[in-house]
């Protein structure tokens, strides 16, 4: 085996009861939720018992996703599986940074709570939404976005899939234009136009908030959404900039593979990132860990 990377799930993958089995199966996972409860009481209940509608709200999604993402990674580490590198998709970058030791669990959680608040406020103020465009080349999607004053290419996911942030009033027209071009637009389960100019106010608030945090050097390689490269310096600016700029996921995975990574474990709800990675490369092994069954499978095959 070559090298292992943990990749942390992003917003949109949330679902009711997420994280419950991880907490029951792993003391290390349970400790993540205990830390969160000390800061934001009720987070565990939202994850384990919250409705789909409750978890859809950005102010709830982000802290809850952080907990499940990090809990999955800590359960793996508890079992002796250590990664050589980490990356996270959008909000997943905060648990990635935390897992790499750049922030304490408490500070990572405090930051993601604020991030959710800032992005929710920006979403309410700007009336944006998101969709994933498939079956079209990136340059074609970029061209369609340019036809609208409030449409932006934002998540470069994998070959043939590019997510866009679009004003809600223009979303129907945008989707129709995508259809005319031979593609398909799939609405995403998020509550705003993230990683675009819709989030400029949130990014500004993040820069101010991040002045309150001290970052340690990472214990392992951490890849940035904003640059698609390893963190080198100024992590605060990396985390603020990614809020209003595209997620360069395909580049991140390609750069990780080039560095020697041949096994990826998605930590957190769902298999979205696992699916994207499979489309980026057919030559890597891919696992996901989100509950007791998937945790035990990964441990059995990788230990």
Residues with Cβ < 8 Å from 135, sequence gap 6 or more?
Answer: 160, 182, 183, 184
pLDDT in tens, the chain (303 residues): 689 999 999 988 999 999 999 999 999 999 999 999 999 999 999 999 999 999 999 899 999 999 999 999 999 999 999 999 999 999 999 999 999 999 999 999 999 999 999 999 999 999 999 999 999 999 999 999 999 999 999 999 999 999 999 999 999 999 999 999 999 999 987 889 999 999 999 999 999 999 999 999 999 999 999 999 999 889 999 999 999 999 999 999 999 999 999 999 999 999 999 999 999 999 999 999 999 999 999 999 998
Is the distance from CB of 174 to CB of 144 less than 8 angstroms?
A: yes
Q: Is the pTM of this model over 0.85?
A: yes
- Residue with tokens 């939720």, as numbered in its chain: 33
Q: Is 104 a catalytic residue?
A: no
Please tell me which residue in 163, 195, 196, 224 is annotated as part of the active site: 195
The alpha carbon dihedral of 144, 10, 289, 53 has a sign of negative
- Residue with tokens 């979403």, as numbered in its chain: 123
Please tell me which residue in 9, 90, 163, 224 is annotated as part of the active site: 90
φ and ψ at residue 112, rounded to 5 degrees: -70, -30
């Amino acid at each position: 085996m070559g090298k292992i990377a943990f990749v942390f799930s992003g917003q949109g993958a949330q679902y009711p009861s997420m994280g419950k089995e991880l907490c029951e199966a792993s003391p290390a996972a349970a400790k993540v939720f205990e830390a969160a409860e000390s800061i934001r009481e009720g987070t565990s209940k939202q994850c384990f018992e919250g409705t789909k509608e409750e978890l859809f709200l950005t102010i709830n999604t982000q802290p809850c996703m952080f907990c499940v993402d990090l809990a999955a990674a800590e359960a793996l580490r508890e079992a002796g599986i250590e990664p050589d590198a980490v990356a996270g998709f959008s909000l997943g970058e905060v648990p990635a940074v935390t897992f790499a030791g750049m922030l304490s669990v408490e500070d990572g959680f405090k930051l993601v709570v604020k991030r959710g608040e800032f992005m929710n406020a920006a979403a309410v103020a700007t009336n944006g939404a998101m969709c994933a465009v498939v079956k079209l080349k990136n340059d074609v999607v970029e061209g369609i976005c340019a036809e609208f004053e409030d449409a932006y290419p934002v998540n470069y996911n994998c070959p043939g899939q590019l997510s866009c942030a679009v004003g809600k009033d223009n979303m129907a027209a945008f989707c129709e234009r995508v259809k005319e071009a031979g593609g398909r637009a799939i609405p995403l389960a998020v509550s705003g136009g993230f990683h675009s100019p819709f989030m400029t106010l949130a990014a500004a608030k993040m820069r101010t908030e991040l002045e309150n945090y001290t970052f340690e050097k990472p214990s392992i390689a951490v890849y940035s959404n904003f640059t698609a490269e390893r963190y080198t310096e100024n992590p605060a600016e990396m985390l603020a900039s990614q809020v209003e700029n595209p997620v360069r996921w395909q580049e991140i995975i390609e750069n990780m593979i080039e560095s020697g990574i041949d096994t990826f474990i998605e930590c957190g709800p769902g298999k979205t990132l696992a699916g994207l990675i499979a489309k980026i490369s057919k030559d890597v092994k891919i696992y996901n860990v989100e509950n007791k069954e998937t945790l035990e499978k990964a441990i059995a095959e990788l230990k």
